[in-house]
Amino acid sequence: MILYDYPPLAECYAVRLLAALLDVPLEIRSLDYYPGREHETDEYLDIAPLGSVPALDTGTAVLGDWQAALIHLAAHHDATGQWLPLGDPDRLVAIHEWLAVARALAHSAGVARLHELIGQPAVIERCRTEAHRLLRHLERHLWFGERAGRRWLVEGEQPTIADIAVFVQVILCEEGGVSRLDYPAVRRWIDSVRGIRGFVVTSGVLPLDPTAPVHTLA
Amino acid sequence: MDPILWNDWHVVADATALQCDRPITTRLLGVPLTVSRDAQGAVHVVGTDGSPIVSDVRHGFVWACLGKPARPILSIAELAEPDRCVTTAGSFGVHVSAGRVIENFLDLGHLGHVHAGYLGQEPQTAVEPYEVARLPDGGVHASGCKVFQPVSSPTAQSGFVVEYQYKVERALTASLYKSSFSQPDRFDVIYLFAQPLDEEHAIAHVLEIFIDDGVSPAALRAFQQFIFLQDKPILENQIPKRLPIGQRMEMPVLADKTSVAYRRWLAELGVTYGTVGAHDGGLPA
């Protein structure tokens, strides 16, 4: 599979992270997204008509939506079925609900981060306010979950793609001026995700265990 | 406002990325600016009231001076060498003072930790002795720094001992010279221009002037951005966000020799903007 990648984007990290956790090799094609705007070129639009980054070429289709890429990886490359429990409709529904939260975080915390990082236009205060509203929602869910013995976003012993999708947005949010200081349950959950066997970092994300092997560029 | 900063040229935008229909709003030393390109291709920098700000386009960047330019925009000798691959590597916001951005760039000690596996590796993180001197026109020159780097550049095929030199020619401009992988007797050059948005926010503008060994500008950019984004969380967690240049502000160690020289020079220049403790008169000699 080929991943059209711009490493600083949280959504690209989500795909690389899940692929690493599933031990699925990806052929990385690095795009000059910024400042080169390579994703707006005709060549790239021919490959990925949405012009979105990342895009995952599965061999049979090019998935221009990062969450579709997560679903594809989990549905086809996870023999355990833990990341996307296709046979469990209630958990599937809950996963989709959290994927929507991840998307809302991308449009608030993620936009704030890209505004601070590369000057992408944004109504910055509105983005931050919305990000905090979502983080409070996440905090409540995780805090009550801890009391109910639930460690991950969705009921069950193992993490799902919901954890990956929300994690990549939350772990980079401080770069957009959205502090996680007031969300202790979120911070504990972040450490749980970072503790998953096979977890890989990206620039801006530190490993839970500093002696763990370093990550690679491509 | 410090005259040395007010009357100096600062990068305010990457000219190569500035498009006609997409003006950039930014700030310089707290002053809001709009940078735009007109249909004829000319670049304009104006204040909020539309009044023009002294500006120029040089080395791939848009430069502005809020006061009266005391000196020309610095010249870069390596840009005249024909066998160079030259590219701007993007402009990245950092929530820290411009001085902190420059200082981090000068820091040899962090390479093996923050950039482990690329610009250094554990446990070989000790910084070997190196020389720090003054440049003839003022400024700081560090030389003779040697670091083993597993992956020193996008085209490096193996690790090798890289020689480093640093120059700080202007208060908020630093350049790095490191042995080229393909021609180890010559240097790849990286310039860092730190644009002070305000006292605690900066934009890091990077210019790469590499020996052209077939490397593409896109690959140079990708590598540099990967490295810079590793620095960003470290930089943003520094407290205070302003650069301490007063006596007794922080305890430097020998590996920080370049940083000490940089802070001392800023104090001599009378830089107080974006710093703390300057009234102490700088670090002891």
Residue B17: which CATH number?
A: 2.20.25.680
By three-state DSSP, how is residue B154 classified?
coil
With an 8 Å Cβ cutoff, is B234 touching chain A?
no
Which tokens hold the place of B150? Answer: 């597993």
Residues B210, B102 share a domain: yes
B13 and B151 fall within a common domain: no
Residues B58 and B132 in one domain: no
**Matching residue, tokens 């939260």:** A101
C-beta atoms of A35 and B24 within 8 A: no
Residue B229: its chain A contacts at CB < 8 A? 7-8, 203-204
The chain A residue lying nearest B225, using CA atoms, is: A8
Q: Residue-wise over A116-148: b if at least 16 C-beta within 10 A, else e?
A: bbbbeebeeeebbebbbebbeebbebbbebeee
Q: What residue numbers bound the domain in which B229 lies?
A: 81-233
Nearest to B90 among A34, A177, A214 (CB): A34
Q: What percent of chain A has pLDDT over 70?
A: 95
Same domain, B85 and B126: yes
Tokens representing residue A10 in the block = 């949280």
Is A35 at the interface with chain B, CB within 8 A?
yes
Give the per-residue pLDDT at B285.
42
Q: Looking at B109-172, which runs of residues are DSSP E strands?
A: 131-134, 140-149, 160-170
Q: Are residues B132 and B41 in the same domain?
A: no
Q: How far apart are CA A127 and CA B117, in angstroms?
A: 35
Decide if pLDDT at B279 tops 80. Answer: no
- Average pLDDT of the segment spanning A36-59: 95
CA angle (B34, B37, B40) in 5-degree steps: 150
Residues 51-110 of chain A with CB under 8 A from chain B are none
Nearest CB to A119; choose among B24, B219, B221: B24
Task: Tell me how close the Cα of B18 comes to any Cα of chain A, in angstroms.
Answer: 10
Q: Please give the average per-residue pLDDT across B128-156, as a whole number.
A: 89
CB contact under 8 A, A175 and B233: yes
B218 touches chain A (CB under 8 A): yes
Strand intervals (E) in chain B: 10-14, 24-28, 31-37, 43-46, 54-58, 61-65, 84-94, 131-134, 140-149, 160-170, 173-179, 187-198, 201-211, 243-244, 275-276
Looking only at Cα atoms, what is the longest distance across chain B? 55
Work out how many domains chain B is built from and give that number. 2
- Inspect the interface and report whether the beta carbons of B233 and A214 lie closer than 8 Å: no
Q: From the list B93, B116, B230, which residue is nearest A203 (CB)?
A: B230
Q: Whole-angstrom Cα distance, residue B23 to residue B45?
A: 10
Where among B65, B95, B115 does a domain terminate? B65
| Residues B206 and B192: beta-carbon distance below 8 Å | yes
Please check whether residues B114 and B203 belong to one and the same domain. Answer: yes
- How does DSSP classify residue A141? H
Residue B246 located in a structural domain: no
In terms of domains, do B90 and B207 share one? yes
- Residue B249: per-residue pLDDT: 63
Higher pLDDT, A123 or B17: A123
**Which of A12, A34, A128, A173 best tests the B interface by mutation, with the highest count of B CBs <10 A?**
A34
B233 close to A (CB below 8 A): yes
A119 touches chain B (CB under 8 A): yes
B254 within domain boundaries: no
What is the arithmetic mean of pLDDT over A165-175?
97
Which domain-ending residue is among B233, B249, B272?
B233
Identify the structural domains of chain A with CATH numbers, from first to last.
2-77 (3.40.30.10), 89-194 (1.20.1050.10)
Average pLDDT over residues A112-141: 96
Question: CB-CB: which of B93, B227, B230 is closest to A117?
Answer: B93
**And the tokens for B165?**
């030199």
HSE-up of residue B1 (Cα within 13 Å, Cβ side): 15
Q: Same structural domain for residues B130 and B182? A: yes
Taking only residues 73 to 112 of chain B, the set having a beta carbon closer than 8 angstroms to any beta carbon of chain A reads: 88, 90-93, 95
How far are the Cα atoms of A134, A152, A153, A166, A193 from residue A158, in angstroms, in the given order?
23, 7, 10, 15, 11
> Last residue of some domain: B210, B233, B256?
B233
Site from A118, A120, A178, A180 to mutate, B interface, most B CB atoms within 10 angstroms: A118
Helix, strand, coil share of chain B (percent; to 5): 20, 35, 40
B16 & B59 share domain: yes
Residues 6+ apart with CB under 8 A from A194: A207, A208
Q: Which residue type sits at A127? A: C
Arithmetic mean of pLDDT over chain B: 91
Q: Same structural domain for residues B91 and B148?
A: yes
Question: What sign does the dihedral B272-B278-B281-B284 (CA atoms) show?
Answer: negative
Contact criterion met (CB below 8 Å) for B1 and B268: no
**Average pLDDT over chain A, rounded to whole?**
94
Whether B156 and B222 share a structural domain: yes
Identify the CATH number of the domain in which residue B142 sits.
3.90.380.10
Look at residue B125 in the predicted model and tell me its pLDDT.
77
Examine the domain organization and report whether B225 and B126 are in the same domain: yes
| pLDDT tier at B107, thresholds 50, 70, 90 | confident
Q: Does A143 touch chain B (CB under 8 A)?
A: no
pLDDT tens-digit profile of B184-221?
899 999 999 999 999 999 999 999 999 999 888 888 99
pLDDT of residue B250: 67
